Structure 1
């Protein structure tokens, strides 16, 4: 029995049967349910026209609001100028197999010489949550304790992801990855996928010359600051700053430019009761 199936039998959430009557007749077109930033970048490689004009010709085009939001995000991260032309950064981001804001994070990590941890974080953010969702109360508490252990009082979900992946790699080298995943509420297949994404992304950085085989920009050169968490956070902010939260000094509540009220995800290290004072 695989670890994943065994975990489900121990009380984890598993796929249940679907009520036929509740299903839709046709699946929602992919253009209407996928993030559009990467598609908009690729569109500009194909046509000089406005993105919205080009995508509107699709049989079932995405909504105008979704396209406008995607284009605005690309302008915010300097991948497009105000005329919707690709910038030099935009051309580089179009070459990377990750969402544009994650690609910018990776390229900044090359410049800041902290590539290795950012590769892991970017691939984790670009794929799926690492943890299996427990359904029993005791297991939920145990899963949160795993998060707390790997966050090591950094109050950072990204640091938690990074440390879990590094611990999994060590277990994998020892041939113990499946037992490690079962113990820590993880899917081994998810970890394998992230490892593959890291390899693909690093290969592309080498192909485009950002990481070289020899010299100052070789793998060792672009990782000089990989143990410096302050520098790693700078690379994170470079890619994610459009999603920064603000703390209201009067209410001590977080908000963003788009939402007046923001809540942390239940599994976030920032949402645990022992961290509330830090959030404030």
Structure 2
């Protein structure tokens, strides 16, 4: 860095070009077994860290150098090496400072997992079964949750598509002064059956994520049956980026093989033999006769799994917020907002982004929606939203408080829904059952016909 040359600049540009051209690639992690300081036992999944330090290693300042590395589920997730800010008066003090740094990092990682709401860490700092699987997936934790539940609930193909779009970007192109034409094209995808079967009814049109999934499904069908030229014409007619669709296909294959690596599904043998193996594998992931796709045409189940993955990224109207939380929000709002549907994210007023199919709706199927990201400009906007069922929040949401006398259930202290006490207790038991299923997958990877489990089938019938 002190004497940079042109060759160094060329190397940096080469790295950046590689990163830009391969956004769907990542580092693959696996369970290495070294998950706890002290006793190393197979299947142990404690968050762990290691630290070391020299003493007065710098001959000029006499400051010591520390280093640490941190593991989650046996996978290296954080590391650092740096010179200490002050001079240590003994080797013990130097080691103590190193341990303080790694402890601080471990505390931050643990709090981060909790705040993300992934249910990955229990009170004793042990990873839950969900956290155990997420630690092996080199993807965003929210996307990882969605993928896991997609395989468990027999909706893998649509969830792979949605996960790829959320990890990369929307396939829709917005030419200048043609925003309304793009919005009409989005709605047309839901009703036009020329590109493939339409499995979405009117009640399930309130989802940007389902539209992206349907766009990929129809594009893939046209590509396989009519060739690349027909697929290009399809993209132009619906304002879709052809390059994005090809990238989504590659990312679907990558995400599917990640689930195979952790034992959730089993890839076909010899799938890499011959040419076009990515196309073949993507078609296999789309095969509705496979066990992991038995409910892939049930859009209500797909929306429930979107809630499972994206929670706690939830917004609600006044009808879906507890009285106590609503009063607190009203006090912080200031002047009353004169809008028909006001959405809250638990802390403030938020708005559905104009590019969303839900932005101009007057009525919603449910008072809850899920989203991946917020964008703040003149207002706080929610991109790519999906209206979600109260049942999905009951099953995949946060802490549940059942009010037996009033017949109300509060989730995470602010989301409210009416449900008989018996129903709420049933969903509590279903949560424990899902916990057990994930735990069984740790013990017995590639459990046969998991989507045909009686409990899973019962949960599907709720939606």
Q: Distance in 2 between matches of 1:199 and 1:120?
A: 10
Equivalent residues of 1:80, 1:86 under 8 A apart? yes
2:241, 2:232 → 1: CA distance? 8
Aligned-residue CA RMSD (Å): 3.7
Change (3 A) 1:69 1:247: farther
Distance 1:71 1:97, change over 3 A: closer
**Equivalent residue number for residue 212 of structure 2:** 161
* TM-score under structure 1 length normalisation: 0.69
Q: In 2, distance between residues paired with 1:186 and 1:58?
A: 46
When residues 72 and 189 of structure 1 are mapped into structure 2, their CA distance, relative to the original with a 3 A threshold, is: same
Distance 1:56 1:213, change over 3 A: closer
Partner residue in 2 for 1:141: 180
For residue 290 of structure 2, what is the aligned residue in structure 1? Answer: 220
Q: CA deviation at 1:68?
A: 7.9
Once residues 151 and 254 of structure 1 are traced to their aligned partners in structure 2, the CA distance between those partners, rounded to angstroms, is 25
Q: Match of 1:255? A: 344
> 1 or 2, which has the higher helix percentage?
1
Residue number in structure 2 paired with 1:5: none
The answer to whether the aligner puts 1:205 opposite 2:244 as a matched pair is no
Q: Distance in 2 between the 1:110 and 1:118 partners?
A: 8
Aligned to 1:244: 314
The residue that corresponds to 1:95 in the other structure is: 136
- In the aligned structure 2, how far is the partner of 1:181 from the partner of 1:157? 17
Higher relative contact order (CA 8 A, sep 6+): 1
Which of 220, 244, 257 is 1:190 aligned to?
Answer: 244
Evaluate the alpha carbon distance shift between residue 123 and residue 84 of structure 1 in structure 2; reply closer, same or farther with a 3 A threshold: farther
Cα deviation for residue 71 of structure 1 reads 3.0
Offset at residue 45 of structure 1 (A) = 6.6
2:302 matches 1:232: yes
TM-score scaled by length of structure 2:
0.44
Q: Which runs of 5+ in 1 are unaligned?
A: 1-37
Taking structure 1 as reference, are residues 129 and 45 closer, same or farther at Cα in structure 2, changes over 3 Å only?
Answer: farther
In structure 2, C-alpha distance between the alignment counterparts of 1:80 and 1:69, rounded to whole Å: 9
CA gap 1:56/1:201 in 2 versus in 1, 3 angstroms: closer
Q: Compared with structure 1, are the counterparts of its residues 252 and 264 closer, same or farther at alpha carbon in structure 2 (3 Å cutoff)?
A: closer
Size of the aligned set, in residue pairs, is 230
Name the structure 1 match of 2:112: 70
Asked whether the 8 Å contact 1:97–1:201 carries over to 2, the reply is no
Q: Report the Cα distance in structure 2 between the residues aligned to 1:67 and 1:97, rounded to whole angstroms.
A: 16
Which digits, 9 at most, give the CA deviation of each residue in 1:138-166, with x for residues without a partner? x2111111122224541111110111111
Using the alignment, how far apart are the partners of 2:136 and 2:356 within structure 1?
31
Superposed, 1:114-133 pairs within 5 Å as 114-133=155-174
Separation (CA, whole Å) in 1 of partners of 2:123 and 2:171: 37
Cα gap change, 1:149 to 1:45, in 2 (>3 Å)? farther
- Greater fraction strand: 2
Q: 1:171 to 1:97 in 2, by over 3 A?
A: farther
Aligned 8 A contact 1:116 1:226 in 2? yes
Q: Which stretches in structure 2 are left out of the alignment for 5+ residues?
A: 1-26, 37-46, 51-67, 71-77, 83-104, 192-201, 269-286, 320-325, 327-339, 368-463
Pair member with larger Rg: 2
